[in-house]
Structure formats: C-alpha cells, structure tokens
Chain A
C-alpha cells in the first residue's frame, strides 16, 4: 500500500515539471541537454558524451555549470519555488 506523502514530497509535487523545464530552458542549450539526459534519462556521463559528440569531462563541466546557474536563479531575487522553498 502506498504510504501518505510527506511534507517534502508535497513540496516536491508543488514544483511543477513545467516550471522546472522552464528553468532549464533559461540555461544554455548544452548545459540544459546534459542535465536533462543525466537527471531524467539517467544516462552516464560517458554515454551522454558519446551522444553529444564531446568528451566526458566536457559533459561533467557543463552539468556542473548548469547546476550552479540553476542554483543562482533559484536563490536570486524574484525567483522562488511554488512551495516557497
């Protein structure tokens, strides 16, 4: 039986997938693609590098830069999640 969702799960549910995708859309294309393939598709760095035709190091750097920019966008003024996180 599925248990009742906790507060964290409710907060995560409040962040719509559309908003997350919109945030990713504000990132450079290479960084957004790497994050999507890494997080959503669950692919390894080497596989993503092979798909995008780059090296694994470049993929790793692009993912880190994208996460930092995402964090900057989320913590910056005027951008908050729906749950107020």
Chain B
C-alpha cells in the first residue's frame, strides 16, 4: 500500500453546533456536507410553490370565470407601482399580504358613504310622514264638515236634539223646524190646506198603523172617512175596535211607544184644532194621547229617515 495515498477523512466534517445552527435556521456558515440538508430544511420552511398551488390556481381560474372583469384603466391601489399592461381584464389581481388594506380603514371609508346614502331616505321618509299627517288633518276636518253637512239633511235623534239645533225647547210646539221636515213624505197639500187625502195604499199592518197614527192633524173633512177605514182594518187585525187594542197592536209595528211622537187619534177630534194642552195647533202637532206634544215631522223623521227598519213592516 503506497504511503502516498491520503487516508479518507473519517467522521463528519461538521459537529453538533452546525446541526444546532441548521435546526435554528442560521445560514451562512453551513458546512458543505450539510448544504443539501439545509436546502431540505429550507424547503420545509418555504411557502407553497406554484406547483403545489396548482389546485388553488384551478379554483382561482374558476372564480375568474364568474367574477366580473375589473377595469384596467385605474390602477389598483396595491399595483400602483406595477406595470399596468401586465394587468389584463381577465386577471384577478390579489393584493400582497403586506399591502392589503386593513379592515378598519375600509370601515372608516364605508361609514360616510352609508350616512350620505341614508340622508335622502330619511328626507323622503320625513316628507312622507309629514304628508300623511297633513292628509290626516285635512281628512279629519273634512270629515267633520261632511258630517255636519250630511247630518243637516237628517233629523236629530231626539226632539231635544232638534231643539238644540234650532235653539228651542222640545216642548215648544209648532215652530220646530228641522231640515228633515222637508223630507217627510207627506202630501203637502193635505198638511197645509187640509184637503182630503186618499189613504196611501196599504201594504201591511205596519203601513196601516203608520197611516193611522201618523196622519197629520188637524183632520180634514176627508180624513174622517180615511181614518174610519183605517180603524176598521186595524180593528179587524187587532181583534177589537178599542183604541187601546189598536194601539197595543200597532206597538209591534211602530218604532217604540208613541209617547211623544203623536198618539192615538182622539175619539172626537176637535174641529177647532185646539189640543189638550190648550195651545193652538199649528198643523204639525198631534193633540192625541201623547204625553208630550211633538211635531209630526219628528215622527216621520224618526220613523222613516233615521231608522230604516221602521219603513218595512215588522212581524
């Protein structure tokens, strides 16, 4: 064996300090024998390479297919220094991690925009609310006016109400005039001039009762015959010719008792027109059995206008 041959170096050309330096990531003084190991450990520490991210690239390409193309006229904030020609409309530019805008900054930019966008909505909402209030006020005022206008054509619910409208007491006779008095479906000639009137065609007991009790006073010469005819019919229906029987029978067909709304015709109607109260009749006050004299117009108003049920015959 020649002595010229140099014996091989036994043992590693590095020590444990070099291994510790490799594990700690210190580079620069790595022995040559450990450089492949250093490269392997660097590969372990390194980020993912493009080949490893091939699946992510496929997913990004699929996202680009759905995402709208970003215009390239204005450079993106994180690509301001980059070449604009490198960014095409089909390229989805992702900002680098260190230049990515902070979420707080984005929120700071969004808040004023949201406020400014909310202002027109608030203004429109306020205007709509104000319009609704105005409409409600006007509608309320008109409703009151319309109510007054519509109630003008109706008779009040009670003679006292009618009297309040005209400024008179319910007991005052003959001068009570309401707007409903003109609506009373009666023959004005018979009421004014007392000319004989032919009885209205009777369609039932209710009509007979109303015809009998609501006939305007004083009776004319022809009313006697009509009343006797009505009394005869009602006597047959009531089962007796007594005025009380007729009254009791007609109570079912009239709107309540006849107190204060006229009453039974007196057996002997006074020809001079004077009522039991001793006051002069003016042509509209019943001198009958009613405890309180009231204008006949009030009867008609209550019985025909205010209560539509009365117009129909009741069983």
Contacts and interface: CB of A to CB of B under 8 A. Distances in A.
Contacts of B33: 71, 75
Interface in B1-54: 12, 16, 19-20, 22-23, 25, 33-37, 39-46, 48-49, 51-52
B81 interface: yes
Contact of A13 (B19, B41, B46): B46
Contact of A74 (B37, B42, B45): B37
B40 A23 contact: yes
A15 B43 contact: yes
A36 B45 CA distance: 10
Given A12-B46, A64-B16, A67-B37, A39 B25 contact: yes
Interface residues of B, number: 26
7 contacts: A16-B52, A35-B41, A67-B19, A67-B37, A68-B19, A74-B36, A75-B36
Q: Which of B37, B45, B49, B96 has the most CB of A within 10 A?
A: B37
A17 B46 contact: yes
Given A17-B44, A39-B23, A74-B37, 4 more contacts: A2-B96, A67-B34, A70-B37, A71-B37
For the complex, would chain B's binding face be called helix, strand, loop or mixed by DSSP majority? helix
Contacts of B19: 63-64, 67-68
Interface of A: 1-2, 11-13, 15-21, 23-24, 35-36, 38-40, 60, 63-64, 67-68, 70-71, 74-75, 81, 83, 85
Given A63-B19, A64-B16, A75-B33, A70 B40 contact: yes
